[in-house]
Amino acid sequence: MPSLKSRLVAFVLRHTRKKAFSSPEAMNRWIARARMKESHRPPRRITSSLAVGQRSLLGRPVYDVEPRGGASGPHIVYLHGGAFCFEITPYHWRLIGELAERLSAHVTVPVYPLAPEHDHDAIFAMGMAVYRDALRRTSADRLVLVGDSAGGNMAVVLTMMAAAEELPRPSRLALISPGLDMTLADPRSRDYARDDPWLDIDGGLEAIRLYAGALDRADWRVSPVNGDLSVLPPTLILAGQRDMLTPGTVSFAERARAAGAEVELVIEPDMIHVWPLIDMPEARVARDRMIDWLARPQPLPVQRPIKPVQRLRPQAAFS
């Protein structure tokens, strides 16, 4: 049974944040309001307990976070969610701080450009610049990509882009409620959306339109479920049962396993979109699981070239 805190969070979200996803017009209003108050700066709790540096890549801020005594663990690139339209939040920063502390990790946090002011090309130009920079700073066997929601999408697409450029791929991926099929064409998506207290179809499609630019939603660079999934390293996916993105996530995991990738998919009953970022009992359990998985020794991924698939393939029924 879900905790009282998780039920309260779902109730509040349904009467607040879900409104942003109710229509294209609502999405654009929420983006406009967000621009007036968003800040990418880490909260004081992070800067007071960890070593935090700031630099610039392609004219955009990049933060580096690690324990004050230095990092002995993995080099993590954390890619935040927000439908590619909203800025990093204190919820993301709390998870980033926990990853740095508990894994003795160096965490690189790009403040990538957002839609609608920027499109897919600009967002992923920044993403690839950060990825190449991370490879200059650490070896691929220590490099990990972690992302939630849109950031989970970005982690997978960057891995595929790295393969296309014959760059070393990361040692593993950890994805929280990722958006992996942005067509939202699965027939179950609307059923899931009705039970989802946060996301909805019409506003979600508008966010996708704003950042996809000239790319079709079925293009692997927007919907990585349609790419060559054989290039993925070991991947952990945390998905919630009450998340409209979960049908696409299940399809992604099935296709990836069929392509030979190692994917551990956890679908948490009664949980909502990106619940591991929220302060509630179920989130602590999920974060423990992710951190234990990231601390587990993994074999090096097989480095094979990518063969992108440009169009949507027939989708298996979700069950």
Ordered by where they begin, the domains of the chain are 4-295 (3.40.50.1820)
At residue 307, the pLDDT reads: 43
Q: How confident is the model at residue 195 (pLDDT cuts 50, 70, 90)?
A: very high
Q: Which tens digits make up the pLDDT trace of 233-279?
A: 999 999 999 999 999 999 999 999 999 999 999 999 999 999 999 99
* pLDDT reported for residue 299: 56
Residue 297 confidence (pLDDT): 80
Region 158-187 average pLDDT: 96
Give pLDDT, residue 303. Answer: 47
- Give the C-alpha separation, 294 to 117, whole Å: 35
Tell whether the torsion through CA atoms of 79, 101, 48 and 51 is positive or negative: negative
Are 129 and 157 within 8 A, CB to CB? no
Question: Is pLDDT above 70 for 315?
Answer: no
Q: What is the pLDDT of residues 30-46, one digit of tens each?
A: 999 999 999 999 999 99
Q: What is the pLDDT of residue 301?
A: 47
